[in-house]
Amino acid sequence: MNENLVWHNAGITRQNRERLNEHKAVVVWFTGLSGAGKSTLAHALEGELYKMKCRTYVFDGDNVRHGLCGDLGFSDADRTENIRRVGEIAKLTVDAGLITMAAFISPIKKDRDCVRGLLEPEDFIEVYCRCSLSVCEKRDVKGFYRRARSGEISNFTGISSPYDEPENPDLVINTDKISIELSVSRIISLMKERGVFSVSV
């Protein structure tokens, strides 16, 4: 940390923004293998929250790597830095009063734990999109598994790079067994339990 930097405390606080939005800020972190349905579910959830007039944003793993993390590869060190950057941005969006969906394979447990550690316990919901590797490979819309199996892509999670399965996620969604609609409903139910939609004026 540069000793010449001083944190500026804004006049408008997170609580002010939450009262204006009429909901609390939270990060819903989707983790799982490629093809498990993380982005699909994140955007479906955002669609329902939009209908509820919530202020939202989705950070999608592929989109982030087009800009903010465009300089990173897929080594363990680069994966860690990718998630670190997203975690810091997610911390800012919580302060901005937004409900943030983050859809990232995020295969390394300690990296997910680091993001959780940046936030207050009630501000982070880890959703494990659990899906069998065989189903993920069948979906393979982008052709990544086929290329990984043929050796064209190295360090591919689930094939040539490990995935640390979440030990105590806040919610497990078996995306190869239940519908998107039911999945979204379960997440919103958990958010209600957490008091996300209850803000005292």
The full set of domains in the chain, from first to last, is 14-193 (3.40.50.300)
Q: What is the Cα gyration radius of the chain?
A: 17
Burial degree of 136 (CB within 10 A; 0-12, 13-18, 19+): buried
State pLDDT tens for residues 98-142: 999 999 999 999 999 999 999 999 999 999 999 999 999 999 878
Task: Name every residue whose Cβ is closer than 8 Å to that of residue 67 and which is 6 or more positions away in sequence.
Answer: none
- Give Cα separations from 60 to 39, 45, 100, 120 (angstroms): 6, 13, 11, 22
Q: Which of 34, 39, 106, 183 is catalytic?
A: 106
Phi/psi of residue 114, each to 5°? -65, -40
Is 50:56 a contact under the CB 8 Å cutoff? yes
Token pair 């239940």 is found at 178
pTM: 0.91
Can you list the alpha helix ranges (DSSP code H) found in the chain? 14-21, 38-51, 61-64, 76-95, 109-118, 133-139, 144-149, 180-193
Q: Which of 18-32, 44-58, 79-93, 129-143 has the lowest mean pLDDT?
A: 129-143
154 included as an active-site residue = no
